[in-house]
Amino acid sequence: MVENWYTGIVTKIVDATHNTRRFWIKIPELERFDFKPGQFVTLDLPIHEKKNKRWRSYSIASHPDGSNEIELVIVLLEGGAGSTYLFNEIREGSELTLRGPLGVFVLPETLETEIFFICTGTGIAPFRAMSHYLKNHAIPHNGIHLLFGSRYEKDLLYADEMRQLEQSFPGFHYIPTLSRQEDWNGRKGYVHSIYEEMLQDKRPANFYLCGWKNMIDEAKQRILAMGYDRKQIHQELYG
């Protein structure tokens, strides 16, 4: 199957935190950009002669709404050629070459167990898309827990939006946890202790992990050690 490349126009850019930015991209040649929550797009950036060194993939942070516009949330990586280009060269009105949607990090048709979304940093992107989608389509579920690990409160992405979602979406729980901030009234430490504590009774659950390799590796190890099966762990690796 030949993947279509499209020309996207950047319609809006907003700084989310000191090192993350939200980019809205419209694909004028499509009437609607259809994707499943959790999928990603690949950008072809003019940063190298070799194709495979120019491609950068980002999870779609917005939920499918029938339009031809999507949102990406991108962190500026020290020494990262792709994110440096996006932060320094891309403005509202800039064009980006992209293809997609791609990826199989998506929810099953029916949610039969509790779901644990576990993420750090921009790894929240697919879970933001999934959570809004589940709410908007009133999809039956048995509890959704979004565990978002960060160092400081200033690094939390979509925090106000997730708190509002928690108020308006029954059974959805937003649990941010900070590892470095002293004057924080919420959960402290790392995300791992939270799901271990919540699942002491080993009740049925499915785990969706998104973020950097270290966090995912540790989560997988701990979840398996708790007695869950590999089939209950789904992951999207960044970097």
Q: What is the pLDDT of residues 129-152, one digit of tens each?
A: 999 999 999 999 999 999 999 999
- Do residue 141 and residue 199 come from a single domain? yes
- Do residue 98 and residue 120 come from a single domain? no
- Do residue 24 and residue 137 come from a single domain? no
Check whether 1 has a pLDDT greater than 70: no
- Do residue 135 and residue 219 come from a single domain? yes
Residue 10 lies in a domain: yes
- Do residue 89 and residue 28 come from a single domain? yes
pLDDT at 174: 98
- Do residue 148 and residue 96 come from a single domain? no
- Do residue 169 and residue 95 come from a single domain? no
DSSP 185: S
**Predicted TM-score of the model (pTM):** 0.96
How long a stretch of residues is the chain?
Answer: 239
Residue for token pair 């072809």: 44
- Do residue 41 and residue 119 come from a single domain? no
**Bridge partners of residue 114, in order along the sequence:** 205
What is the pLDDT confidence band of residue 238, given thresholds at 50, 70 and 90?
confident
How far is the C-alpha of 144 from the C-alpha of 147, rounded, in Å? 10
Domain boundary residue, one of 42, 77, 102 = 102
SS3 194: helix
Contact between 48 and 37 under an 8 Å Cβ cutoff? The reply is no
Task: Give me the mean pLDDT over the 69-73 stretch.
Answer: 98
- Do residue 39 and residue 98 come from a single domain? yes
Residue 231 lies in a domain: yes
Angle at 12 between CA 7 and CA 17, to 5 degrees: 120
pLDDT at 33: 97
Angle at 3 between CA 68 and CA 53, to 5 degrees: 100
Residue 108 lies in a domain: no
Task: Name the domain count of the chain.
Answer: 2
- Do residue 53 and residue 146 come from a single domain? no
What is the pLDDT confidence band of residue 239, given thresholds at 50, 70 and 90?
low
Give the residue numbers spanning the domain of 52: 5-102
What is the pLDDT confidence band of residue 14, given thresholds at 50, 70 and 90?
very high
- Do residue 128 and residue 222 come from a single domain? yes
